[in-house]
Structure 1
């Protein structure tokens, strides 16, 4: 019989929460990727969505990752080293780099002071000369998560929606 890993269990919880909100027509799922990397024996699950109401200009991507070391630790029953990393990438189709301090303080009001935040403004020019600007905010945590944090994933999805709602107000 298949024994699901911490990654599998957290992926099911996260995916279920997001798909329930999609079924309720609160959000729209834009992309989903489930990767088993056989070269380094890692797993990654990414799911990207936007709010369905309004113009839905902002999106968020959840990334759940389990390295080969984390997976091996779980197989050895060494649960202090077993777990997953989770990261969110928020994207807005405009340059908000001038509002970096306000953005960070707004995000920390929602997510707490311990969240690690980084920013990037990406400009891509097409062959026809059209430039597309995208402002990205990366949220990471300085710890792994495991099944003990499964119920926190529901709150994280709610916090993510709150985050994409506040920044377009700039």
Structure 2
């Protein structure tokens, strides 16, 4: 009989909650979804990307990952290890004024998330194009893994993501 892993259970819970925000609540539009099994390193990855239905200028991406060590710890029921998944949050948006807007973005993320790890903003621009905008990919990292004990926190996590999207759309 198939026994779902921590990854499988979290993925289903997260996927259901996000799709409810799209299909039932009409608050977001899902723009991309990934579900990968990386055979070369035996890892799993699930991602879903979305934007607010009324403000599509900023997108959010949730990524859930489980590596071989955690997968093996769960399947082999290793007593000295607690299997879990990594959760990453990304926000993508265009900016024009690097110093001003990046500072505002960092303040918004700090106010909403109170992160242990500083958010990382990666700016990119296509060389040779005459443009005054940068693509800003904002990564919010967490210092610990999550497991089924945090499944009830998914709706609160998503509310924080929605609030972040609303605030970033104002920048």
Q: Establish whether TM, by shorter chain, passes 0.5.
A: yes
Unaligned runs of 5+ in 2: none
The whole-number CA distance in structure 2 between the counterparts of 1:165 and 1:113 is: 18
Contact kept in structure 2, 1:95 and 1:121, CA below 8 Å: no
Residue of structure 2 in register with 1:69 after alignment? 69
Task: Give the stretch that moved more between structures: 105-114 or 155-164.
Answer: 105-114
User: How much has 1:100 moved relative to structure 2?
Assistant: 2.7
Q: What's the secondary structure of 1:110's corresponding residue?
A: helix
Contact kept in structure 2, 1:116 and 1:142, CA below 8 Å: no
Residue of structure 1 in register with 2:7 after alignment? 7
> What does residue range 103-122 of structure 1 map to in structure 2 within 5 Å?
103-122=105-124
Q: What's the secondary structure of 2:126's corresponding residue?
A: strand
Aligned-residue Cα RMSD (Å) equals 1.9
User: How much has 1:51 moved relative to structure 2?
Assistant: 0.3
User: How much has 1:101 moved relative to structure 2?
Assistant: 3.0
The whole-number CA distance in structure 2 between the counterparts of 1:16 and 1:100 is: 32
Q: What TM-score, normalized to structure 2?
A: 0.89
The whole-number CA distance in structure 1 between the counterparts of 2:127 and 2:26 is: 33
Residue of structure 1 in register with 2:95 after alignment? 94
Contact kept in structure 2, 1:86 and 1:145, CA below 8 Å: yes
Q: What TM-score, normalized to structure 1?
A: 0.90
User: How much has 1:124 moved relative to structure 2?
Assistant: 2.8
Q: What's the secondary structure of 2:169's corresponding residue?
A: helix
